[in-house]
Chain A
Amino acid sequence: MRTKTLLLTAALASAGLVSSMAQQVFSVNAVGYVNKTLVPGFNLVANPLTASNNTIESLFAGLPDSTRVLKFTGSTFATAQFDELEGSYGANGALTVTPGEGVFVFIPGNQNQTITFVGEVATGTSIVNPIAQGFSIKSSKVPKAGTAEALGLQGADGDKIFQFNESTQQYRTSGYDELNGGWDPALQPLEVGEAFFYFKAAAGTVNWTQSFSVSE
């Protein structure tokens, strides 16, 4: 799985005017694109950017007939299958994949496919990704590579991370052990556009908080 480096292009998105004072305030949104290679079989994919249309139908357009996108619903998956006779992914094509989430994408055949994510980059000092008890598919909300821990995810005793290896089509599991002082085995780096399964052992929701600026 290869991902080209994110290229950032600053763009003026909107201008807010303070009418009473002759003071103009501009917001600057960082916009970029990420190319992601999908291998035949299953890929655990994240959408690293906020697109104008974050539906499965839009994000995964142009893939081969019978491509399947599976979004985890808490206990099972909702499946969207592209059928070239229909020209769409069906009803589940309206499901969205936003930064911080992830989906399985099954690529049929024996050739790699490339998709391009285009959209706004999340920036700020408090970019929050809530994690509830149980299983969920998570990803970094900021388009950076690194281990989940290096990207700001703090584990708790009993938590597990399941990273999917496209080459072997198997999970690689790491468990968080407070007695051991961290993840065991050590986490492997995530690429931009890569998601993982997270199992949160304790009740309640915790926030995975990140910060990012375009100068990074």
Chain B
Amino acid sequence: MKKTLIALVAVLVSLSTYGQGSVFFSTRDTAAGIDAKVVRAAGTVGAGLGAGGTVGPAITAQLFLVGAGGSLTPLTPATTFRTTGSAANHFYINATDVVVPGIAAGQSATFRFRAYETAAGSYDAAANSTTFQFGESNDVTVSALGGTPVGGGAPITTPTLVGLQGFTLTIVPEPGTIALGVLGGLALLARRRK
């Protein structure tokens, strides 16, 4: 009975492992045509990305799984941007393998790359603030995740995010800023009518 139970647990563990595919999260791969630079929002300064900025891992890069209806599931590990080498190197992330829970090797999955200021704590927090930078990429579909496929067959090599495009971070302006902008626009309209 005990041996049967141990065997069953071993099978369940192995199945759960096989139930997870993986993808290689890299924003620079000249062979695959990936050149997904991320640039800091215009007018921002300080530690972060892009030419002119000082070096510092102040921006978090994270891959999200795009699900049915556009739902987004954060995947781990998140990573940071490069801080060594030339300034041109700092537009890109420190590449990492990402496991995709719930989707087996050999199956397809769609991903979106999001970046946000680390101090915000999360992408949603950054997007809902008026002080933190954030941004996201286009969606990319991978036809076959890497790993050991369920049901047999040799392991599949980990794919890259072909088609991934870069983006510029943004900051949601403060309500006061928006109001000033609206008033300024109205004033211009009034002058034209006169």
A173 within 8 A of B: yes
For the complex formed, measure the closest distance between the CB of B3 and the CB atoms of chain A, giving whole angstroms: 11
B155 within 8 A of A: yes
Look across to chain B and name the residue whose beta carbon is closest to the beta carbon of A198.
B154
Segment at the B interface, from A50-58, A104-112, A114-122: A104-112
Q: A104-B157, A106-B157, A197-B154 are in contact. Are A91 and B22 (CB under 8 A)?
A: no
Residues of B147-165 whose CB lies within 8 A of A: 147-148, 154-155, 157-158
Q: Do the beta carbons of B84 and A86 come within 8 Å of each other?
A: yes
Segment at the A interface, from B50-58, B85-93, B135-143: B85-93
A74 partner residues in chain B, CB cutoff 8 A: 17
- Residue of A66, A83, A85, A135 touching B155 (CB-CB under 8 A): A135
A208 within 8 A of B: no
Q: A85-B92, A135-B155 are in contact. Are A75 and B28 (CB under 8 A)?
A: no
For the complex formed, measure the closest distance between the CB of B188 and the CB atoms of chain A, giving whole angstroms: 46
Interface centre among B30, B105, B154, B157 (most CB of A within 10 A): B154
1/0 per residue A58-77: CB within 8 Å of B?
Answer: 00000011101010101111
B119 within 8 A of A: no
The 8 listed contacts between A and B (C-beta, < 8 Å) are A66-B29, A70-B157, A75-B18, A75-B147, A76-B99, A81-B29, A90-B94, A197-B154
